[in-house]
């Protein structure tokens, strides 16, 4: 049985982080806490590791995972363009429960699945996740649950679903407790996913792909209601993006869970399922 490391105990935190770093380097999977839900993480630049993540969750390449990042400089490195409205949003809500879908840098040497040139990005508000990200770099992170099951809000929940497919579980206590569960499902603390890819074109607007812990009203207060697509409009387009949450970590980032990175712009409506952190 894969070990669960209680990160409230210094010795277990040190051991768990060391094992998690080594596992990521070897292309293995680890489960980490985020501020929204627990996420299962893999090296975003290791295609075999990303495939292992999708297989562990029971997902296809059409549902690429989002990517959790340690800070805004990494946002600029991974996205081909960051529109002013997105900068306002990440300044307001990062680190936190907002996943943003953007066009990815075309030079990136990674394979997250059928992303159609986009990536879903989130900076989680969790010190354990941020410490690991600072040491490993960007991680592909989907909610730590089997596809179609509720997002895990504890390490034990994640272990029950993912078992030995994961090398180490980092237990950071209950996830999502700092948010009101206002997502699409009862008790849902997944990140909100917005598709910002249309802003690359004149007249383009932001689309909320998945409703989560950051409400439409809070987003509109930052960028203005006129920059948002009408509620319920162009929902179908969100497929390609939705991700699962997040990292989220989480079916925030990495839907109901939070999974950024493949979320829209094209990746796949089923992502809005519940896997983004």
pLDDT greater than 70 at residue 6: yes
Give pLDDT, residue 113: 87
pLDDT greater than 50 at residue 260: no
pLDDT (tens digit per residue) in 107-166? 998 999 888 899 999 999 999 999 999 999 999 999 999 988 989 999 999 999 999 999
Give pLDDT, residue 233: 55
Mean pLDDT, residues 41-61 taken together: 95
pLDDT (tens digit per residue) in 172-222? 999 999 998 876 677 789 999 999 999 999 999 999 999 999 999 999 999
pLDDT (tens digit per residue) in 69-118? 999 999 999 999 999 999 999 999 999 999 999 999 999 989 998 888 99
Q: What does the radius of gyration of the chain's CA atoms come to, in whole angstroms?
A: 16
Give pLDDT, residue 106: 92
What angle is formed at CA 77 by the lines to CA 144 and CA 214, rounded to 5 degrees? 50
Give pLDDT, residue 122: 98
Give pLDDT, residue 277: 81
Structure tokens at 168: 């180490």
pLDDT greater than 60 at residue 47: yes
Structure tokens at 247: 């990292």
Which band of pLDDT confidence, cut at 50, 70 and 90, is reported for residue 274? Answer: very low
- Residue pair 254/243 in contact by the 8 Å Cβ criterion: yes
Verify cis geometry, omega within 30 degrees of 0, for the bond prior to 137. Answer: no
> Using a CB cutoff of 8 Å and minimum separation of 24, what contacts does 11-15 make?
13/128
Which band of pLDDT confidence, cut at 50, 70 and 90, is reported for residue 1? Answer: confident
Give pLDDT, residue 125: 98
- Residue pair 244/68 in contact by the 8 Å Cβ criterion: no
Give pLDDT, residue 231: 82
pLDDT greater than 90 at residue 27: yes
Give pLDDT, residue 131: 98
Give pLDDT, residue 183: 64
Give pLDDT, residue 109: 87
Q: 33 — phi, psi (to 5°)?
A: -80, 145
Give pLDDT, residue 159: 97
pLDDT greater than 50 at residue 243: no
More confident of the two residues 173 and 248? 173
Q: What CA–CA distance (Å, rounded) separates 139 from 143?
A: 12
Residue 209, CA distances (Å) to 103, 171, 273 in order? 15, 29, 11
Give pLDDT, residue 248: 36
pLDDT (tens digit per residue) in 220-234? 999 999 999 998 754
């Amino acid at each position: 049985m894969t070990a669960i490391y209680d990160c409230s105990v210094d010795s277990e935190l040190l051991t768990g982080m060391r094992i998690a770093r080594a596992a990521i380097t070897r292309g293995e999977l680890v489960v980490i806490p985020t501020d929204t839900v627990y996420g299962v993480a893999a090296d975003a630049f290791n295609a075999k590791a990303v495939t292992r993540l999708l297989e562990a969750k029971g997902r296809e390449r059409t549902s690429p995972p989002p990517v959790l990042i340690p800070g805004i400089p990494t946002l600029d490195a991974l996205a081909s363009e960051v529109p002013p409205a997105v900068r306002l949003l990440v300044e307001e809500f990062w680190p936190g429960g907002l996943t943003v879908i953007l066009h990815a840098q075309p030079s990136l040497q990674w394979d997250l699945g059928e992303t159609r040139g986009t990536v879903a990005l989130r900076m989680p508000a969790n010190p354990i996740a941020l410490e690991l990200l600072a040491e490993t770099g960007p991680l592909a992170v989907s909610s730590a649950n089997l596809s179609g099951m509720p997002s895990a809000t504890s390490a034990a929940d994640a272990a029950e679903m993912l078992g030995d497919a994961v090398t180490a579980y980092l237990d950071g206590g209950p996830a999502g407790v700092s948010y009101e569960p206002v997502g699409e499902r009862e008790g849902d603390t997944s990140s909100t996913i917005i598709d910002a890819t249309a802003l690359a074109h004149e007249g383009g607007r932001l689309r909320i792909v998945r409703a989560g812990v950051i409400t439409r009203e809070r987003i509109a207060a930052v960028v203005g209601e006129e920059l948002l697509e009408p509620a319920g409009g162009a929902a179908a387009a969100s497929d390609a993006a939705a991700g699962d949450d997040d990292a989220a970590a989480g079916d925030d980032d990495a839907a109901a869970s939070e999974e950024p990175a493949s979320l829209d712009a094209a990746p796949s409506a089923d992502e809005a399922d519940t896997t983004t952190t």
